[in-house]
Amino acid sequence: MIEKNYRRWLESENTDATLKKELEGMNEIQKNDAFYTNIEFGTAGMRGILGAGTNRINIHTIRKANEGFAQYIESNGADAVKRGVAIGYDNRHMSSEFAMESAKVLASHGIRSYVFESLRPTPELSFAVRYLNCFGGIMITASHNPREYNGYKLYDETGCQLIPSLAKQVIDRVNAIEDELSINPILNEDQQKLITMIGKEVDEAYYEKVLSIQLNPDVNKESIHLVFTPEHGTANIPVKTVWTRAGYHFTAVEEQCTPDPDFSMTKSPNPEEPAAYELALKLAKEKDADIILVCDPDADRMGVGVKYQEEYVVLSGNQSGSVLIEYICSQLVAHHKMPKNPVMFNTVVTSDLGEKVAAKYGVETEKTLTGFKFIGEKVAKYEKNHEKNYVFGYEESYGSLISPFVRDKDAPQACLMLAEAACFYKAQGKTLVDVLNDLYEELGFYKESQTSLTLKGQEGAEQIKAILSNLRQNKPTEFAGTSVVAWEDYNEAQMFKNGEVSDLVGFTKSDVLKFYLEDGSWIAIRPSGTEPKCKFYYCIKGTSSLDAEKKTVAYQKAVQDKIA
């Protein structure tokens, strides 16, 4: 089958000329990796390495995905076709080309599209869907992945990524397409008119909404200097714009402000990795900055570094999320603006600290599976039934949403709110690290960490499945001598506690295992939905910060021993 598909692509007159040249130079290993499967169109869309083949992101697999999406839109009736789709893209190789190819495939079905004139953040695409009253949205991005990647994400009419039940309807249609090379839309004049370019009007509406989230707009901004980097991506103009209009003082890492698809001036575009902060840290020391803010290429994630005792401390997503919850909730209460029945959302692999912070302000926490679409789904639910009122939503992976006029992670919002919080607490003689330490003293010492095992290709995918399968069949009863008191299996939708098995309600089945330990810690394991990795999450509770750190080392070693 591999050789058959390879020959089909190599010999077809429809194969893109650049891709055909790549095919001609492939060795057997490269052929196998490019054709052993079709690139997975999952509940998070597609993400993969750019290149030729059925297991790659390229013009043909993008067209195939859009053909399936177009059929899905048509199945929802004439109104869905007329309302159309908003399309955005980031700075990566082929992003603008893939955006236009998406619009062309949709237009060949009579579906209108609104394409951003140049790169824009993922959250602004989500906003545009709602602002333009579209039926859906497409974002061409590989988020924080390395430069050789690109991807394709789909949004519903609320601006939320497609939840599994809707994504399946698209997936089934995509998988039914047998020949992706046959899709080559040539538009007539009427079809060409269905593609509209958008820009400034949507930008201004988005900026206005971002600026509206401020809780203390008159906070003393003279006291804080910010350093910012968009990591060559889409956050550059939006973050600078909202900060300037709000009156903040900042310096950008100019070397990383160009929309460079090769990420030439950064070792990593991922705020979860220390390498993403190198130039920002250097500039912060030169400017004696208080805060460093780092956005990923599509501007849905934000990392933060804080000057503390003459050094810069990079906060994890769990830590910055907890600080944001403390600031937002405390100020809502102080200004008598806390809504009735307030609710916060995070995921099953997010630290317990944020939930404890929310609880002290009377805010309920609801957990979802990993993927902000599940938070967006809950936002939409409560917007309709008014049973609860949104206060905050976040994931441990540096993504948060302050106000749900967007239905995805929104780094420009987070950058504005973090800047405000830094000014507010500096007026009290505190840094954001001091705020975090106060939370530890009040609510308990937590050490959150994440490790991953990268296993590429067909063999790697099988190894990852085997790891989860083995843990299910031989569930650990202890880690580093500490007993497992409960576990949750989200694939089987079961929870085991106190000798009894009960159903996990309200979650889509997912390949996730979570083990609760006797000391109040937990360990979770899941395959990445966007990278060839098996991820391990640790939320470790200790009697002190040092105790939590020591336990983390022991638990990480115990996990590695069990999967070896």
Judge if 425 and 450 occupy the same domain: no
Quote the CA–CA distance of 289 and 281 in Å, as a whole number. Answer: 9
Residues involved in catalysis: 143
Write down the pLDDT at residue 43: 66
DSSP state, 25?
T
Quote the CA–CA distance of 209 and 62 in Å, as a whole number. Answer: 32
Judge if 349 and 496 occupy the same domain: no
Q: Domain containing 488: what range?
A: 445-563
Judge if 501 and 549 occupy the same domain: yes
Listed residues 439, 469, 499: the one ending a domain = 439
Quote the CA–CA distance of 313 and 292 in Å, as a whole number. Answer: 10
Quote the CA–CA distance of 1 and 155 in Å, as a whole number. Answer: 33
Residue length, the chain?
Answer: 564
Tokens describing residue 48: 């993969």
Nearest to 76 by CA among 184, 192, 195, 156: 156
Nearest to 100 by CA among 90, 110, 87: 87
Nearest to 40 by CA among 32, 31, 49, 30: 49
Query: How many folded domains does the chain comprise?
Result: 3
**Contacts from 145-149 at CB under 8 Å and sequence distance 24+?**
145/47, 145/269, 145/270, 145/530, 145/531, 146/263, 146/268, 146/269, 147/92, 147/93, 147/261, 147/262, 147/263, 147/269, 148/49, 148/50, 149/47, 149/48, 149/49, 149/50, 149/57, 149/92
Tokens describing residue 436: 């975090």
Averaged pLDDT in 10-residue chunks for the chain of 564 residues = 95 96 96 93 85 98 98 98 98 98 98 98 98 98 94 97 94 95 96 98 98 98 97 98 98 98 96 96 98 98 97 97 98 98 97 98 96 95 96 97 98 98 98 98 96 85 91 94 96 91 90 96 90 92 96 97 90
Judge if 379 and 287 occupy the same domain: yes
Judge if 174 and 323 occupy the same domain: no
Judge if 126 and 170 occupy the same domain: yes
- The pTM of the full predicted model, rounded to 2 decimals, is 0.94
CATH number at residue 515: 3.30.310.50
CB 449 within 8 A of CB 560: no
Helix pair angle (457-473, 28-35), 10° resolution: 60
Tell me the residue ranges of DSSP E strands in 199-326: 225-229, 249-252, 291-295, 302-308, 311-315
Judge if 108 and 156 occupy the same domain: yes
Listed residues 439, 461, 481: the one ending a domain = 439
Write down the pLDDT at residue 41: 78
DSSP state, 335?
T
Judge if 435 and 449 occupy the same domain: no
Judge if 420 and 449 occupy the same domain: no
Judge if 330 and 419 occupy the same domain: yes
Report CA torsion sign: 401, 513, 494, 519.
Answer: negative
Judge if 363 and 453 occupy the same domain: no
CATH number at residue 420: 3.40.120.10
Listed residues 149, 181, 198: the one ending a domain = 198
Q: Say whether 170 sits in a helix, a strand or coil.
A: helix
35: Cα within 13 Å, side-chain hemisphere: 20
Judge if 351 and 479 occupy the same domain: no
